[in-house]
Amino acid sequence: MFKENTLSEICSPRFIVQINDSFIFWFERSNQYLVVSKTINDLLGLFFETTNKSSFLTACIDQNISLEEAHTIYDDIHKLIKQANTSADQNSASVLIPKIATPIVIKQYLLKTSSVIINYGTLELEKFIHPQWAHALTKKKNCDHTTTFDVFKVQDHNFLFVNKKYIKHYHANESHVLAGQINLQIINALYAKEESDWMATFHASTVCNDQEAIMIIGASGNGKSTLSAVLMASGIDVLADDFTPLLAENKEVYRFPSGISVKVGAFNMLKELYPDFEEYPLDVSTSKNVPIRYIPPIKNLESGTSHLPCKKIVYVHYNPTAISSMEKISTARILETLITESWLSPLTSNVELFLDWIKDLQCYELIYSDNEMAVSKFNELFGS
């Protein structure tokens, strides 16, 4: 059950939920999460229960904590809670909303029976967004539904409009945030949803069979997308690469039919798995400045299921010198990566659903150097 605090307690978290030996705090003002141990939870509880620093110090001394240590604990907690209550609005800059710019490049993408037209205002934006959708290029005129995006740059900001309606703008150095917003608007168009309908969008890849999905997370460079490509070559369906949306209504993850991005370090290995690999367009990652290719998904919105329940998450780490292994790990370890690298809805109702969803997760860590072993372990997970 959730412990809910009243809004009058300005600094306290709105929700606290316990999962095994860890506690997850959610702060409404900033939409920030904290994952802490039982020891830290007890100290935070003491902080919120006492009325001032003096009473906190007294309470610590009563628990055999030295006065010097109690001072340090109080200052650290005060700083932590202050940060947790500070809103970090990515879109707060006051900028005059311009008229939609004339596009330099126009591309149309067919996604099932609907299409997305993106009017690119600069070649840099086209180079940044287009490659992951190149496999879906079309010139089809009679689509069931067409959504038009305008993305362009004015001075130091990139602007996004959908069907002539202003959505958001971002500083030019926040291209990753812009990409996330474009992806969000694409799934809104695909599934006739709005931002408030989504519980979260995760920086994660997701694979599936016809009954369930398994999410793959990991630090940048740990081989999430490469593993997804390996699994797809073995016959496992890739539901989403690097962007996995989770709907609030049914708590299920949805297909995001972009290409799978793989970096140059995996090219030689993937040539053996994909006979047409060298025919895929060669691009350069705008964030890493390394050569990449996008592998088209084998299944799309017409041939594959659109959404599935997801109760398993695997943290992956490719290590060519390691002995491959998979073991169960705590949800807290997964959340350290999942929360920090994802968009999580700020709506209270969606937060409650998210906290309820993570309570039932089964979490694993896969360290692998052997592709066959990795494929075998995922097949076992689907069968368990």
Q: Convert the pLDDT of each residue in 42-52 to its tens digit.
A: 999 999 999 89
Q: What confidence tens digit (pLDDT) does each residue in 237-268 have?
A: 999 999 999 999 999 999 999 999 999 999 99
Closest C-alpha among 326, 261, 337 to residue 295: 261
Residue range 285-292: average pLDDT?
83
Q: How confident is the model at residue 128 (pLDDT cuts 50, 70, 90)?
A: very high
Q: Which residue has the higher pLDDT, 80 or 2?
A: 80
CB 156: neighbour CB atoms within 10 A? Answer: 11
Residue range 97-125: average pLDDT?
95
Q: What confidence tens digit (pLDDT) does each residue in 154-198 have?
A: 999 999 999 999 999 999 999 999 999 999 999 999 999 999 999
Q: How confident is the model at residue 41 (pLDDT cuts 50, 70, 90)?
A: very high
| Lookup: tokens for 45 | 């509880």
User: Residue-wise over 115-125: b if at least 16 C-beta within 10 A, else e?
Assistant: bbbbbbbbeeb
| Lookup: tokens for 147 | 């959504």
Q: Does position 272 have pLDDT exceeding 90, yes or no?
A: yes
Q: Give dist(CA 314, CA 334) in Å, integer.
A: 8
pLDDT score, position 294: 96
- Tallying the residues shown for the chain, one arrives at 384
Q: What confidence tens digit (pLDDT) does each residue in 161-170 have?
A: 999 999 999 9
Whether the CB-CB separation of 238 and 207 falls below 8 Å is answered with yes
Q: How confident is the model at residue 141 (pLDDT cuts 50, 70, 90)?
A: confident
Whether the CB-CB separation of 260 and 233 falls below 8 Å is answered with no
Q: Does position 304 have pLDDT exceeding 90, yes or no?
A: no
Closest C-alpha among 297, 288, 202 to residue 252: 202
pLDDT score, position 352: 98
Q: Does position 1 have pLDDT exceeding 90, yes or no?
A: no
Q: Does position 93 have pLDDT exceeding 80, yes or no?
A: no
Percent of the chain's residues with pLDDT above 90: 80
Closest C-alpha among 179, 133, 129, 172 to residue 343: 179
pLDDT score, position 301: 84
The DSSP H or E segment spanning 184 is helix 175-191
Residue range 316-330: average pLDDT?
93
Domains of the chain (ranges; CATH) run: 3-84 (no CATH), 105-192 (no CATH), 199-383 (3.40.50)
pLDDT score, position 5: 46
pTM score: 0.92
Estimate the crossing angle of helix 67-84 against helix 53-62, to 10 degrees: 130
**Of the given ranges (2-6, 39-43, 190-194, 341-345), which has the lowest mean pLDDT?**
2-6
Q: What confidence tens digit (pLDDT) does each residue in 55-90 have?
A: 999 999 999 999 999 999 999 999 999 999 887 664
Residue range 319-326: average pLDDT?
91
The 8-class DSSP code of residue 71 comes to H
- Would you put residue 315 in left (φ > 0), alpha (ψ -120 to 50) or beta? beta
Q: How confident is the model at residue 92 (pLDDT cuts 50, 70, 90)?
A: low
Enumerate residues 6+ apart whose C-beta is below 8 A from 171: 93, 156, 157, 158
pLDDT score, position 338: 93
pLDDT score, position 220: 78
Dihedral pair phi/psi, residue 379, rounded to 5°: -60, -35
| Lookup: tokens for 180 | 């996330």
Whether the CB-CB separation of 309 and 252 falls below 8 Å is answered with yes
